[in-house]
Amino acid sequence: MTKNDRANFGSKIGAILAAAGSAVGLGNIWRFPFETGNHGGAAFILIYIGCVLALGIPIMMAEFLIGRRSRANTAGAYRQLSPGTQWKWVGRLGVLTGFLIYSFYSVVAGWTLEYILQAVSGGLNGQTAEGFINTFNSFVSSPWRPVVWSVLFVLMTHFIITRGVEKGIERSSKILMPMLFILLFVLACCSISLPNASEGIRFLLQPDFSKVNSKVLLGAMGQAFFSLSLGMGCLCTYASYFRNDTKLPRTAFNVALIDTLVAILAGFIIFPAAFSVGIRPDSGPSLLFITLPNVFQQAFGNIPLLALLLSLLFYVLLALAALTSTISLHEVSTAYMHEEFNLNRKKAATLVTIGCILLGMLCSLSLGVGSQFKLFGMTLFDLFDFVTAKIMLPVGGLFIALFAGWYLDKQIIWEEISNRGTLKVHIYRLLFIGLKYVAPISIILVFLDQFNVFG
Ligand code: TRP
């Protein structure tokens, strides 16, 4: 296929929105709060922000410039920029990582659909905090219901993917992101004003560094990669559709900023409410789904119609935020199969969809009927989350930083970052130091720390 056949994001703002649409999703609203809860709160958040600044932004720029320069899928990108070398394995690892993430992500995305239905049917009305916990647990462990929802979610993603890059992805991001942001803000205000919310706010704002250990560091780093969609060529694939005048540094800053703000807002929704009604902050992946119904119940219980409308709006927007992320995950594998194996886009997308449905089913079942089956002490669902976010993405990020910092011709980086000299770029030096030294060294140190190398 020639370069001209490839799609383009129509406008500059479209590029930012699509990348932000990929980044903002369940990672911010579902995963960030439960990781924060598991790792003790404020200190984790500060380390997370450090990871976004020191690792996230430089690596995002690296992915952008690799993608736009090569105008190819992530494996093809490395082949083009470094023909005949083994760097293509970085791209291939990314495709595999994305596929595994897609499988368990689609399960959680399916849960959002169930909660839309619950919101509409009033199933969440008038329950106690205990009741919400029971409802969630019996739902996720039932054999078929969550599976049906996740299959439906994958099929929705498939439908959008097969309609093409520009139309599907760009249109959906433009209106939904600002709406989501406003609603999150309103809900955070509601949550903060619940009785005894102050304990939750303290949990978010008062760091206790004595509890920081190697797990906290790995958790924060993994969360930064996961939430920013980094380390597997997702944003690299998107950047291959960017226009030549898209400003890469500015896009990277904006995406990181939006993504982090959404995550922190989600924290301000979850923790004040969780402490207020007595839900443990370390409840794990169920945290969002057992805490949020309480916010609606407590804040709007007297006005059932408002509670219904707001909860419906929230779950719909959450599902759509997840959808713009699954689209990006699906696109990585689809572009790879399409361009590397000469399959047409539809066939490529169909294969990815079938594979994901099968693996997603296993992940979903591992929370119920298959829960006795454990690998390394984890269910398949937890294992996929752990291996992808905490190992594969950081390893991918490490190699992306090394590739851009040490291997790529400096001229290429300069041209892409400055749009061939037409932009004034102040952060060029900083970017280089980040990619060459800061990112690789910190990723390696966090990994070494896992083995207790530092005592
Ligand atoms: N970042 C998305 C979220 O926060 C999930 C996601 C989409 C992702 N594409 C990715 C995670 C690529 C890692 C890599 O919900």
Per residue in 95-117, pLDDT (tens digit) is 999 999 999 999 999 999 999 99
How is residue 248 written in tokens?
């890469």
* Conformation bin of residue 164: beta by default, left when phi > 0, alpha when psi is -120 to 50: left
- Residue 1 is predicted with a pLDDT of 44
pLDDT tens-digit profile, the chain (455 residues)? 444 457 677 666 777 788 999 999 999 999 999 999 999 999 999 999 999 999 999 999 999 999 999 999 899 999 999 999 999 999 999 999 999 999 999 999 999 999 999 999 988 888 889 999 999 999 999 999 999 999 999 999 998 888 765 565 566 667 778 889 999 999 999 999 999 999 999 999 999 999 899 999 999 999 999 999 999 999 998 899 898 999 999 999 999 999 999 999 999 999 999 999 999 999 999 999 999 999 998 888 888 889 899 999 999 999 999 998 999 999 999 989 998 999 999 999 999 999 999 999 999 999 999 989 999 999 999 999 999 999 999 999 999 999 999 999 999 999 999 999 999 888 899 999 999 999 999 999 999 999 888 76
- Asked if 221 and 439 count as a contact pair (C-beta separation under 8 A), the reply is no
Cα of 362 to ligand 1 centre, how many Å? 20
User: Which H/E stretch holds residue 205?
Assistant: helix 198-205
Return the best residue to mutate from 328, 331, 384 for the ligand 1 pocket (most ligand atoms within 8 A of CB): 328
Cα of 224 to ligand 1 centre, how many Å? 10
The 8-class DSSP code of residue 242 comes to S
CA atoms within 13 A on the CB side of 158: 19
> How many CB atoms sit inside 10 A of residue 274's CB?
29
Closest Cα to atom 14 of ligand 1: 229
Cα of 26 to ligand 1 centre, how many Å? 8
Give the list of residues 6+ apart from residue 309 with CB closer than 8 angstroms, or none.
none
- Asked if 339 and 1 count as a contact pair (C-beta separation under 8 A), the reply is yes
Cα of 227 to ligand 1 centre, how many Å? 5
CA atoms within 13 A on the CB side of 332: 32
Cα of 146 to ligand 1 centre, how many Å? 21
Task: Measure Cα distances from 296 to 116, 127, 180 in Å.
Answer: 13, 11, 16
The helix/strand/coil state of 378 is: strand
- Residue 162 is predicted with a pLDDT of 87
Closest Cα to atom 2 of ligand 1: 23
Return the ligand 1 atom nearest residue 25 CA.
15
Cα of 435 to ligand 1 centre, how many Å? 21
Cite the DSSP H helix spans in 193-247.
198-205, 214-227, 234-239
- Residue 453 is predicted with a pLDDT of 81
Cα of 207 to ligand 1 centre, how many Å? 27
Tell me how far the alpha carbon of residue 312 is from its chain's centroid. Answer: 22
User: Which H/E stretch holds residue 7?
Assistant: none
- Asked if 93 and 75 count as a contact pair (C-beta separation under 8 A), the reply is no
Q: Domains in the chain and their CATH numbers? A: 12-357+383-450 (1.10.4160)
pTM, to two decimals: 0.95
CA–CA dist 232, 234 (Å, integer): 6
**CA Rg, the chain, in Å?**
21
How is residue 266 written in tokens?
């989600």
Cα of 366 to ligand 1 centre, how many Å? 22
The helix/strand/coil state of 122 is: coil
Rounded (5°) CA angle 358-7-255: 75
The helix/strand/coil state of 379 is: coil
How is residue 319 written in tokens?
């599902």
Closest Cα to atom 4 of ligand 1: 27
CA–CA dist 232, 237 (Å, integer): 9
Q: Bridge partners of 375?
A: 378
- Residue 2 is predicted with a pLDDT of 44
Give the list of residues 6+ apart from residue 450 with CB closer than 8 angstroms, or none.
214, 218
Closest Cα to atom 8 of ligand 1: 229
CA–CA dist 339, 71 (Å, integer): 11
- Residue 3 is predicted with a pLDDT of 45
Q: What's the chain's average pLDDT?
A: 92
Return the ligand 1 atom nearest residue 388 CA.
13
How is residue 420 written in tokens?
């061939």
Closest Cα to atom 12 of ligand 1: 229
CA–CA dist 454, 212 (Å, integer): 14
Return the best residue to mutate from 101, 330, 385 for the ligand 1 pocket (most ligand atoms within 8 A of CB): 101
Q: What is the DSSP string of 278-293?
A: T--TT-GGGHHHHHHH
- Residue 168 is predicted with a pLDDT of 57
- Please measure the distance between the N-terminal and C-terminal CA atoms of the chain and give it in whole angstroms: 54
Cα of 196 to ligand 1 centre, how many Å? 33
Return the best residue to mutate from 31, 329, 387, 391 for the ligand 1 pocket (most ligand atoms within 8 A of CB): 329
Closest-CA residue to 110 (of 291, 329, 289): 289
CA–CA dist 72, 79 (Å, integer): 9
Tell me how far the alpha carbon of residue 242 is from its chain's centroid. Answer: 20
Return the ligand 1 atom nearest residue 321 CA.
15
Give the list of residues 6+ apart from residue 260 with CB closer than 8 angstroms, or none.
49, 52, 227
Cα of 454 to ligand 1 centre, how many Å? 31
- Asked if 39 and 218 count as a contact pair (C-beta separation under 8 A), the reply is no
Residues with CB under 6 A from ligand 1: 22-23, 25-28, 98, 101, 226-227, 229, 232, 234, 325, 328-329, 393
Rounded (5°) CA angle 100-67-107: 20
Closest-CA residue to 394 (of 406, 405, 386, 383): 386
CA–CA dist 384, 177 (Å, integer): 28
- Asked if 269 and 188 count as a contact pair (C-beta separation under 8 A), the reply is yes
Cα of 223 to ligand 1 centre, how many Å? 10
Cα of 101 to ligand 1 centre, how many Å? 8
CA–CA dist 118, 178 (Å, integer): 25
Return the best residue to mutate from 35, 99, 105 for the ligand 1 pocket (most ligand atoms within 8 A of CB): 105
